[in-house]
Structure 1
Amino acid sequence: MKVESCLYNMVNFVFSIFPDERWMEIGQETMAWFTHLPINWIGFTYEDGHLSYGNLFLLLFLLLLILPFSFGMILSFLIFVLSIVLAIYKKMNNLSEDILSTSWHKPRHFFARYLTKLGKTIHDHEIIGMEHLPEGPGIIVFYHGTFHIDYFFLLSRLYLQRGKLCILVADKALFYVPGLKPLLQVMGGIPGSKAECVEMLKKGCLLGIAPGGAREAFFSDENYNLLWGKRKGFAQLALEAKVPIIPMFTKNIKEVCRGYGRTRLSRWLYEKTRFISTPMYGYFPVKLCTYLGEPIPYDPNTTAEELAEKTKVAIENLRDQYQKVPGNILRAVSERFGKHNKD
């Protein structure tokens, strides 16, 4: 029996046991339990049957302190569950290892639709400059936020609107994390060897590359500094494949999630071992707007160093034009839910 049929029968069985009225009672009892749990645990006192203002502020403070970490744990759990489901789906349907195969269309379309809906619902996500993306091959170079969900929103919108897959050049280590490979494959991820990147470009694909990688994600601060070092591999790739580079920057992407424990010791440890020792917290509903700059065309007279520097300047210009620095979580959330000017 297929997994879908099993799940369907299980859900029907559960609903047959509990009628609609009982589900309402269970929901009310659960909400009441969650409401009274922190109150009873902390030992709040009541005044005339109501919480005192001091205790109320303490409760709100604790919620604000706990919820960001809770969202982070929930997000990690969801990624883990999705990875398992995709691994099972891949095994059952004999999906090809070639991520460009049409066998990936159904799960990829599902993820694209719901990621797009997630971006619009939680972040009111917008993309400015879609017309700058070429119909043929090209390289999108972007600033790497602590949690670069913005790139997946772009990938999803592009796949739904044009049916075009944008390949993500991901860290090789991620493909060795148990269960994570199918999730990377459905989102168009590849380990990022030069030969594989050139092959994808020759097939007419777009590539997404964040030269800053994990270093930029965890050690760039609220001023959105680009930490590329001397990385120029993406520029050499663009010159070899004779394709344009499209700079990309997303407003408030650093405020979605934050890393803490950013010290000299953690930075030294990362540089020596590539081990990330700065935990991530939060998944804040901030306003996100992705800006795609004008393409930097292929120029045979430009060196890789010059092209890399030109790309860096283009992304910094987008940052300086649209991002208020230092970044602020409360301001970014207010931009999401308050009235903001459309660009």
Structure 2
Amino acid sequence: MISLVPNIWQMIGGFIVEYIDIDVDFTLWLSWLLMPLLITFLLPLVIVVLLYATASILYVYKLHRARLRHAYETDWKNAARNTVAAVWDAHGWIWHGYEIVGLNNIPENEPVLFVYYHGAIPIDLYYFISKVFLYNSKLIHTVADRFLFKVPGWSIISDVLKVIPGTIQTCSSILKEGNMLAISPGGVYEAQFGDCYYRLMWKKRLGFAKVALDAKVKIIPIFTRNLREAFRTVSWGRRIWLRIYAATRFPFVPIFGGFPVKLVTFVGKPISYDSSLSAEELQVKVATALEDLIKKHQKLPGSITRALLERVYQMSSDVRYEE
């Protein structure tokens, strides 16, 4: 009996080496162990994704089939814009119940500079641009941070959807040509370090004001309710992230979210061109108008739970927001 003990330990050791080799087969063994758990949660998620994709396709076909058919008879870029806009419009309607209040504040056949609050991810701007393009056939040019133009695949997006790095000269030229343009003075800094109190983080940035004065155009402030509840940046390690951003100008702060909260974009009253205003004075005037929109339409501090409940309440009671 005693002589069998070494043989038993040898058999156990051989089993461990053969089937649970830490260096070689641990990943395979762990996958086998967790497979029931993965199947349990992954398959329902796949079904949800497929249902969501199905709903998006049906929504696009129902509302935009005539526009897409007409677009495909013209140049490919116009067709592509209509298709992309229809997909984003469907995403906004299904996932966030997205709405725009105050579209009548946008003047017809007139160049306009939109100034907006920058969320952790500016998903509201994608929805806003898509809806304006689909229903008014007007493409809003946008200014993006320079780091995006180094991302593979971004060049075709910037070309077709008219996204530019944005110097004062190029922005002014776009407006003088009769186009609409959207700028966030806070930019990536506001996106990365803003919070649920929705404070503007523009510092002393005057570029947008100089553009508006040079092009002699109206400025329209826009703000989206619950934007910070859809996506947020982590609050820990703020000092470290600030130092990294100051050194690299790259958005390293982790982002989390994607919550299906209710999103409503409010379009403010146009601020007319006034040659008597300096760039500094115009910046203050626009900031005040945007802060007024935030105070009027956003409960502070923002709450993810409350924003989710607003989505349910909106769907069940068909509440309308004041302009």
**Aligned to 1:104, which of 65, 70, 77?**
77
Contact 1:169 1:189 in 2 (8 A): yes
Q: Secondary structure at the match of 2:134?
A: helix
**C-alpha separation between the residues in 2 aligned to 1:193 and 1:228?**
17
Q: CA offsets per residue over residues 202-259 of structure 1, 9 Å max, x none?
A: 2211100000011101101110111000001100110000000000100000111111
Instruction: Map residues 219-258 of structure 1 onto 2, 5 A cutoff.
Output: 219-258=193-232
TM-score (norm: length of structure 2): 0.74
Contact 1:137 1:206 in 2 (8 A): yes
Give the ranges of 4+ consecutive aligned residues of structure 1 lying more than 3 Å apart after TM superposition. Answer: none
Deviation at 1:271, TM superposition (A): 2.1
Matched, 1:172 2:150: no
**Aligned to 2:291, which of 293, 300, 316?**
316
Q: 1:200 to 1:335 in 2, by over 3 A?
A: same
**C-alpha separation between the residues in 2 aligned to 1:169 and 1:334?**
33
Q: 1:164 to 1:207 in 2, by over 3 A?
A: same
Deviation at 1:170, TM superposition (A): 0.8
Tell me the residue number matched to 1:142: 116
Q: Give percent identity, aligned residues only.
A: 41
Deviation at 1:195, TM superposition (A): 2.2
Deviation at 1:178, TM superposition (A): 1.3
Tell me the residue number matched to 2:238: 263
Contact 2:142 2:162 in 1 (8 A): yes
Tell me the residue number matched to 1:342: 320
Tell me the residue number matched to 1:37: 37
Q: Secondary structure at the match of 1:316?
A: helix
Amino acid aligned to 1:165: L
**Aligned to 1:153, which of 108, 124, 127?**
127
Amino acid aligned to 1:215: Y
Tell me the residue number matched to 1:132: 105
**C-alpha separation between the residues in 2 aligned to 1:276 and 1:171?**
10
**C-alpha separation between the residues in 1 aligned to 2:226 and 2:237?**
19
**C-alpha separation between the residues in 2 aligned to 1:235 and 1:338?**
39
Instruction: Map residues 71-86 of structure 1 onto 2, 5 A cutoff.
Output: none
**C-alpha separation between the residues in 2 aligned to 1:240 and 1:254?**
32
Tell me the residue number matched to 1:47: none
Tell me the residue number matched to 1:299: 274
**C-alpha separation between the residues in 2 aligned to 1:237 and 1:196?**
9
Contact 1:137 1:243 in 2 (8 A): yes
Deviation at 1:187, TM superposition (A): 2.8
**C-alpha separation between the residues in 2 aligned to 1:249 and 1:115?**
18
Q: Secondary structure at the match of 2:125?
A: helix
**C-alpha separation between the residues in 2 aligned to 1:186 and 1:286?**
29
Amino acid aligned to 1:134: P
Q: Secondary structure at the match of 2:113?
A: strand
**Aligned to 2:181, which of 186, 207, 214?**
207
Q: Please tell me the root mean square deviation across aligned C-alpha atoms, in Å.
A: 2.3
Contact 2:147 2:250 in 1 (8 A): no
Instruction: Map residues 84-95 of structure 1 onto 2, 5 A cutoff.
Output: none
Q: 1:205 to 1:281 in 2, by over 3 A?
A: same
Contact 2:143 2:163 in 1 (8 A): yes
**C-alpha separation between the residues in 2 aligned to 1:290 and 1:262?**
31
**C-alpha separation between the residues in 1 aligned to 2:140 and 2:287?**
21
Tell me the residue number matched to 1:44: none
**C-alpha separation between the residues in 2 aligned to 1:132 and 1:333?**
28
Matched, 1:276 2:254: no
Contact 2:168 2:210 in 1 (8 A): no
Unaligned stretches of 5+ residues in structure 1: 1-33, 41-58, 72-100
Contact 1:219 1:262 in 2 (8 A): no
Find the structure with the greater CA-based Rg. Answer: 2
**C-alpha separation between the residues in 2 aligned to 1:122 and 1:274?**
31
Deviation at 1:264, TM superposition (A): 1.3
Unaligned stretches of 5+ residues in structure 2: 1-33, 50-73
Q: CA offsets per residue over residues 160-200 of structure 1, 9 Å max, x none?
A: 11111100011122112111121233332112122221221
TM-score (norm: length of structure 1): 0.70
Q: 1:185 to 1:330 in 2, by over 3 A?
A: farther
Matched, 1:197 2:175: no
Amino acid aligned to 2:257: G
Contact 2:112 2:219 in 1 (8 A): yes
Identify which range, 199-208 or 240-249, moves more after superposition. 199-208
**Aligned to 1:119, which of 72, 86, 92?**
92
**C-alpha separation between the residues in 2 aligned to 1:262 and 1:118?**
33
